[in-house]
A = this chain, B = another copy of it.
Amino acid sequence: METRLDLVFAALSDQTRRAILTMLLEDDMAVTDVAEPFDMSLAAISKHLTILSRAGLITQEKRGRVKWCKLDPDALREASVWMQGFGQFEPVNLDAFERFLEEELRDEA
């Protein structure tokens, strides 16, 4: 049986999809705009978005011919709870996270 947690972690295991989530952290975006920075077909991005959507990490709403993608952090929270359970972590270091973010964005460029 495939659990929600399976889907979330599988969705997060791809750099392209993590980069998409990072982009959506800034603002909601249309599919075409999500695809723009990537060296990849629109169809491929569409598939990635489907995977993120099935995992519950984003929601998609169609207005007119444009489909808007919006981050939905609920699923992430669930996964985060699972991970934090392994315990020996210091309180979250946001500086470390920002370095991470920059690195991910740099890799993508």
Contacts and interface: CB of A to CB of B under 8 A. Distances in A.
Interface in A79-93: 79-89, 92-93
Main secondary structure on A side of the interface with B:
helix
A32 interface: no
Indicate the size class of the contact surface on chain A.
35 or more
Given A9-B12, A13-B13, A82-B18, A77 B89 contact: yes
A45 interface: no
Given A9-B12, A86-B73, A80 B80 contact: yes
Interface in A1-33: 1, 3, 5-10, 12-15, 18, 21, 25
A73 B83 CA distance: 10
